[in-house]
A and B are shown apart, each in its own frame.
Chain A
Amino acid sequence: MLELNPGLILWTIITFIAVLFVLRKMAWRPLLGALTSREEQIQTMLRQAEDAQAEARRFLEENRRQLAQAEEQSQRVIREGRNMAEKLKAEIIEKANQSSRHMIDQAKDEIRREKETALVELRSEVADLAIAAAEKIIDANLDALKHRKIIDDIIKDIRPS
């Protein structure tokens, strides 16, 4: 079992070398070629995918930033609008208050004026009526001019305070 057979060694070497040359041309070169080209292709694809991913991430970041900006802007617009409205409201109310107060004052003045006019009229009317009445009640010889002063004084005294 352990003896060497030179013929078999020769056959082994011949067969091996034949197999080696046939396979190198027909199998190993094409297999390794396909393998390396595919590996390169995968490398390129991976790099491209990474680039695309980076770009997508950049776009996303950009989008997010713009969204945040828009959000902020809209918030500001709303806040400004609200402030303006508040101010406008206060102004309108103030104006209304003012005009109403003004109107009330005017009305009060009018009333006072009317009252005074009325009082003056009333007073003269009362004086006349009183004189007429006094003339009728008291005797006719009463000196009109002389007593008029007294009656005026009386009327002045009865004037409501």
Chain B
Amino acid sequence: MTLSSFVSADADTTRRAVEGAVALDGPAGPQTMGELFHQLFQHVQDAPEIELPLLGHVHLPHISPLHIGGVTLDISITKHVVFLWVAAALLIMLATLAARSNRKNRVPKGWGNLMELFVVFVRDEIVVPNMGTAGVKYMPYVLTTFFYILIMNLLGLIPYGSSATANISVTGGLALIAFIMIQVAAIKSQGIAHYLAHLTGGVPWPLWPIMIPIEILGLFTKPFALCIRLFANMTGGHLVIVSLFGLIFIFKSYPIALTTTAFVVAINFLELFVAFLQAYVFTMLTCIFMGLGMQVGHDEHREDHAH
């Protein structure tokens, strides 16, 4: 959802939105305003179609839902699935180019140098401070998380683009992987026995029925916060832009349109920053949680011997 995609691409929505705004002039009430915002919000939400230049709305294939046990899995290709794949293809292309460039040149230059800047940043500022040198073996996961989220975030800022990370299911999926990685790091570092012992919180056994559910709940809150944070930040930025554009159709005045456009440009720059920031925050927090699990192991050892 961007300035240009809104203004130029989606003529249909714009027309309908303008009609809605025209309707606002008359004695019409919140019904038409609601209609307007419904139109605008659709840009943020997932859809079974994508917008392309010239082609307009393209309907995506519908796959009949799978029924596994009691769960219904609708694995239809939606707009956000397409952008998941676009981001994946872009990332694979860019990262492979960088790797090839750096293997060829003894002194990194150009694109390889830029990618390496981020790789070194992730390694020296995110992974090693939180997990120590033992964390370097998780580098592929951490790097993929960082760049994949970054590219998905940035895709929302280009015309016709959409941020898959503005969808709570996508951030939920990423958080689920982060949850698994956090547990894997903890179990690998301290061993399954110590990992399970840690779930008891070190309290006497009569308190275990209380303590164990709390500890297990504690394991889930961290990735849950990751999921909500990324989703809310990406959605929030887009909603601000959509709302600012909505002002144009409500007030229908040139001064307000100009002011609003200036605001939208400013918000777009902010979004550019937020795209990087949120990729960093998600990665950083995942590494902190992984590092916590890896460090707890050493503390547990000492506690167990003291018992």
Chain A residues close to B by CB (< 8 Å): 1-13, 15-20, 22-24, 26-32, 34-35, 38
Contacts and interface: CB of A to CB of B under 8 A. Distances in A.
B88 interface: yes
Given A5-B46, A6-B73, A7-B65, A29 B140 contact: yes
Summarize B's interface: helix, strand, loop or mixed: helix
B170 A26 contact: no
A137 to B, nearest CB: 139
A19 B88 contact: yes
A50 B120 CA distance: 25
A34 B85 CA distance: 28
Contacts of B177: 13, 16-17
Contact of B173 (A9, A20, A28, A29): A9
Contacts of B167: 5, 8
A8 B46 contact: yes
Interface residues of B, number: 50
A35 B119 CA distance: 9
B72 A6 contact: yes
Interface of B: 41, 44-46, 65, 71-76, 78, 80-81, 84-85, 88, 91-92, 95-96, 98-100, 102-103, 106, 108, 115-116, 119-120, 123, 139-141, 143-144, 148, 164, 167-170, 172-174, 176-177, 235
B45 A1 contact: yes
Given A12-B169, A13-B177, A26-B92, A1 B120 contact: no
A18 B74 CA distance: 20
B140 A5 contact: no
24 contacts: A1-B41, A1-B168, A6-B74, A7-B74, A8-B80, A11-B173, A12-B164, A13-B173, A16-B174, A16-B177, A19-B88, A19-B92, A19-B144, A20-B140, A24-B140, A24-B144, A26-B95, A27-B92, A28-B140, A30-B102, A32-B119, A32-B123, A35-B119, A35-B120
Contacts, number: 124
Contacts of A34: 99, 102-103, 108
Nearest to B105: A34
Nearest to A12: B173
A138 B167 CA distance: 178
A15 B74 contact: no
